[in-house]
Amino acid sequence: MSQSFCPACQLPLLWQLGGYYCAHCQNKFVKEAFCEDCGHLLERLNACGADNYFCPHCNVLKSKSRARITFRIAAADSQKNSGNPSSSA
Ligand SMILES: [Zn+2]
Ligand SMILES: [Zn+2]
């Protein structure tokens, strides 16, 4: 099993409650995979315990080696203001 690392501090991420967590930064991260060919966000398919990715733009399955894996900081406490959609960018 491959270890994932925090993009900010390079320490190993912990798998916690369905998400990645860095104990150093105290941030939660979500794993995202992007198509190497078109840059579109890939959908993860979990078949027989192996991860595959599907690109809805290319309309083909992508192997892990064709996916660019990134970790994005998950907004931890943004659920407080439920009437405020996360549109800050
Ligand atoms: Zn970190
Ligand atoms: Zn693609």
Which of residues 33 and 81 earns the better pLDDT score?
A: 33
Ion ligand 2 neighbours (CB, 5 A) are 35, 37-38, 40, 55, 57-58
Burial class (CB in 10 A: 0-12, 13-18, 19+), 47: exposed
pLDDT at 83 over 90: no
Tell me the one-letter amino acid at 30. V
Distance 58 CA to ligand 1 centre (A): 33
Q: How far apart are CA 62 and CA 45, in angstroms?
A: 10
Distance 43 CA to ligand 2 centre (A): 11
Q: What is the pLDDT of residue 29?
A: 94
Q: How far apart are CA 81 and CA 5, in angstroms?
A: 30
Which of residues 79 and 72 earns the better pLDDT score?
A: 72
Distance 82 CA to ligand 2 centre (A): 33
Q: What is the pLDDT of residues 19-77, one digit of tens each?
A: 899 999 999 999 999 999 999 999 988 777 777 899 999 999 998 889 999 999 987 55
CATH architecture of the domain formed by 14-74: Ribbon (2.10)
